[in-house]
């Protein structure tokens, strides 16, 4: 584990308690049966009943357990010991069995055996990956022949937009990778809680859409589709307006700005 990974592990240990107590995660609603997966994800992944599913970078497991509630034999993986402990606690509390492994993505082949019908990732994981090729190779390692990889993620263009602009979208960060790491010092106000005080540093990396697709293809996965969407599940920018469906859009030009994307790929 390098210094960046160690720092991010500590950061997500700290964020686990913040997120679990926030209204945006609505853990109590989840305990009562709320599904945390979007209808779009359910449609694009399809029926998971009786299938084995590996969820990489699962945080504290609500999506993993949502798939398990739908009949998947689900395994969640996350680097944070605090997140995995909470995921296991939630699994016991709601009576939905699932397996959880505390591991970095890149170390997982040495810590988990077997292959899966589906490998899944979702929302906000790409920026924490230092090596896309290694990530894609891990996915291919755990997919059985004919298995499906699916991801639903924030679009890199949306992440490149300056979050301080309240009127119109303006590019404030690189869209393309510069090959370096971005350090974020301790801060006030997380994506789930505007008042939370975060005391740990974190480190992120930039990956363009082309880099993501190329890494998956290089690992031997056949891309079935790449879909881009003009909505977001979170108000990253002040100029986004929430619709009746709970999603956020650029109201002045609601069909012109890609904010999220999904990829489905198959191991040949």
**DSSP string for 216-237:** HHHTTEEEEEEEEES-BSS--S
Q: Reduce the secondary structure of 51-74 to three states and give it as a string.
A: CEEEEECCCCCHHHHHHHHCCCEE
Alpha carbons 238 and 162: distance in angstroms, whole number: 10
What pLDDT score was predicted for residue 161? 85
Distance of CA 247 to the CA centre of its chain: 17
Of residues 114, 113, 107, the one with CA closest to residue 134 = 107
Residue 168: its pLDDT value, please?
78
Task: Give dist(CA 102, CA 56) in Å, integer.
Answer: 10
Going residue by residue through the chain, which has 268 residues, state the pLDDT in tens, using 9 for 90 and above. 799 999 999 999 999 999 999 998 999 999 999 999 999 999 999 999 999 999 999 999 999 999 999 999 999 999 999 999 999 999 999 999 999 999 999 999 999 999 999 999 999 999 999 999 999 999 999 999 999 999 999 999 988 888 777 677 888 888 998 889 999 999 887 888 878 899 999 999 999 999 999 999 999 999 999 999 999 998 877 788 899 999 999 888 878 889 999 999 999 8
HSE toward the beta carbon, residue 13, CA cutoff 13 A: 14
The correct answer on CATH 3.40.30.10 for the domain covering 3-267 is: no
Tokens in use for 223? 């891309």
Of 122, 114, 120, 121, the closest CA to residue 142 belongs to 114
The reported pLDDT for the residue numbered 70 is 98
Tokens of 184: 């974020």
Contact 250, 230 (CB under 8 A): yes
Q: Using an 8 Å Cβ cutoff, are 129 and 246 in contact?
A: no
Q: Please return the burial class of 48, using the count of CB atoms within 10 Å of its CB with bins 0-12, 13-18 and 19+.
A: buried
Is residue 204 within a helix (H) or strand (E), and if so which, with residue range?
A: strand 202-204
What is the predicted pLDDT for the residue at 256? 80
First and final CA of the chain: distance in angstroms? 32
So what's the pLDDT on residue 244? 92
pTM: 0.95
Structure tokens, 241? 């307006």
Cβ–Cβ < 8 Å for 54, 116: yes
Which residues on adjacent β-strands are paired with residue 119?
A: 54, 149
Q: Cα–chain-centroid distance for residue 62?
A: 12
pLDDT of amino acid 166: 66
The pLDDT of residue 107:
97
pLDDT recorded at residue 194? 76
């Amino acid at each position: 584990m390098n210094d960046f990974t160690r720092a991010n592990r500590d950061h997500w240990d700290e964020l686990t308690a913040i997120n679990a107590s926030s209204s945006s995660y609505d853990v109590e609603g989840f305990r009562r049966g709320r599904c945390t997966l979007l209808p779009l994800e359910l449609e694009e992944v399809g029926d998971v009943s009786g299938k084995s599913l590996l969820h990489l970078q699962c945080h504290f497991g609500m999506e993993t357990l949502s798939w398990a509630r739908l009949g998947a034999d689900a395994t969640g993986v996350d680097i944070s010991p605090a997140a995995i402990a909470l995921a296991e606690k939630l699994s016991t509390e709601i009576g939905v069995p699932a397996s959880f492994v505390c591991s970095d993505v890149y170390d997982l082949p040495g810590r988990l055996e077997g292959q899966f019908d589906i490998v899944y990732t979702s929302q906000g994981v790409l920026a924490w990956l230092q090596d896309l090729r290694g990530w894609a190779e891990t996915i291919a390692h755990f997919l059985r022949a004919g298995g499906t990889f699916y991801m639903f993620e924030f679009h890199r263009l949306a992440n490149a937009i300056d979050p301080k602009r309240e009127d119109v979208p303006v590019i404030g960060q690189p869209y393309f990778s510069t090959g370096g790491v971005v350090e974020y010092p301790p801060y006030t106000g997380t994506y789930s809680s505007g008042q939370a005080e975060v005391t740990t540093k974190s480190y992120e990396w930039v990956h363009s859409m082309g880099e993501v697709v190329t890494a998956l293809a290089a690992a031997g996965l056949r891309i079935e589709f790449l879909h881009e969407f003009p909505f977001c599940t979170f108000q990253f920018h002040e100029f986004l307006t929430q619709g009746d469906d709970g999603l956020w859009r650029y109201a002045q030009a609601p069909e012109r700005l890609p904010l999220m994307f999904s990829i489905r790929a198959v191991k040949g």
